[in-house]
Amino acid sequence: MNQKNAGCPVCGADVIFDEDIVNGELVVCSECGLELEVTSTSPLILKEAPQEAEDWGE
Ligand SMILES: [Zn+2]
């Protein structure tokens, strides 16, 4: 099975994906444990997923 990898934008570690990764998919960096969002698959680009941005005003 083919795999892709991209650098974690936070700690720089390689994060490995299956080749069928899609835009918007969330992955967790195995190094820093942060949630990352796939913003592009070709080339593979990651950004830090919003952690507490969604304030629904409970
Ligand atoms: Zn990381």
Q: Tell me the whole-structure pTM to 2 decimals.
A: 0.76
- Could you give the CA distance from residue 13 to residue 32 in angstroms, rounded to a whole number? 8
Q: CA separation (Å) from 5 to 10, 11, 34? A: 15, 14, 16
User: If you average pLDDT over residues 26-42, what whole number do you get?
Assistant: 93
Residue 9 has pLDDT above 90, yes or no: yes
Confidence of residue 23 (pLDDT cuts 50, 70, 90): very high
What's the gap in Å between 21 CA and the centre of ligand 1? 18
What's the gap in Å between 17 CA and the centre of ligand 1? 14
Residue 34 is predicted with a pLDDT of 94
Domains of the chain: 3-48 (2.20.28.160)
What's the gap in Å between 35 CA and the centre of ligand 1? 8
What's the gap in Å between 27 CA and the centre of ligand 1? 10
CA atoms within 13 A on the CB side of 18: 6
What's the gap in Å between 58 CA and the centre of ligand 1? 31
Confidence of residue 50 (pLDDT cuts 50, 70, 90): confident
**Residues with Cβ within 8 Å of residue 14, at least 6 apart in sequence:** 5, 6, 7, 8
Structure tokens at 25: 């998919």
The one-letter code for the residue type at 58 is: E
